[in-house]
Amino acid sequence: MLAYKFLRPGAVGPFSGFVWPAGEWVTAGDAPAPCRTGIHGCRVEHLPWWLQDELWLAEFDEPVEDVGRKLVTARARLVSRVDAWNAETARRFGEACARRARDRAALALQRAGADGAAAALRACDTPQRVRELARELDVPETARISVLMASDGARRAITGPTATSAYIAAHAARHDGGPTAMGTERRWQVDWLVGELGLPERAA
């Protein structure tokens, strides 16, 4: 089956340090076990959890274990790199996630009666400006965590890693609307990646 695999620059495994030879079959030394041994990848709907520098389409040999947000097999090969995922795309995705956290914070400020602060935050058009304004605002206690999350999300959009900006946006949604809102936020992230990278929708 086909799966997606994120790697560090040079097709290096982010956890194993293994350098993947493009197109060649690789066999794990031990029986596959999620998060411990084997070769790991994911379906398209779980891409936001595993972001790294390079995204590859890989072929996973059967049997493939589908557990949590990952796929695990004993044998796989890299098929092709998804060139549309690059430093510029990662930057834009991180900034898009930071804007989502910013808007959650603005809504929290509005609910707390700080309409002026909410409007000022929504008007911030860069992560840098979100960071600056968050330090200047007099934030009501009920909106404090949301504004901190927006500031942290903006910082990660600037410095990376991109996965952390996406993580913060998801948890900002959870703080605002519970697990359902968090799930909706993660689906939005998947849809953004699918659209920007030209990937098949919801299929590994």
Q: What is the pLDDT of residues 93-112, one digit of tens each?
A: 999 999 999 999 999 999 99
Provide DSSP, 159-195. Answer: HS-HHHHHHHHHHHHHHHHHHHHHHHHHHHHHHHHHH
Residue 21 within a domain: yes
The type of residue at 66 is D
94, 164: one domain: yes
Domain range spanning residue 116?
87-181
Boundary residue ending a domain (53, 81, 109): 81
Do residues 157 and 129 make contact, with C-beta atoms less than 8 angstroms apart? no
The type of residue at 157 is A
pTM exceeds 0.85? yes
Residue 65 within a domain: yes
Q: What is the pLDDT of residues 156-175, one digit of tens each?
A: 999 999 999 999 999 999 99
Boundary residue ending a domain (81, 114, 139): 81
Boundary residue ending a domain (81, 116, 151): 81
pLDDT at 202: 54
The answer on pLDDT for 143 being more than 90 is yes
Give percent above pLDDT 90 in the chain. 90
Structural domain count of the chain? 2
pLDDT at 149: 98
Residue 38 within a domain: yes
Residue 191 within a domain: no
Tokens coding 175: 């703080």
Tell me the sheet residues that pair with 77.
59
The answer on pLDDT for 33 being more than 90 is no
pLDDT at 29: 74
The answer on pLDDT for 53 being more than 80 is yes
Q: Which residue has the tokens 């009920």?
A: 142
Strand residue runs (E) in 31-148: 39-41, 54-60, 65-67, 70-73, 75-81
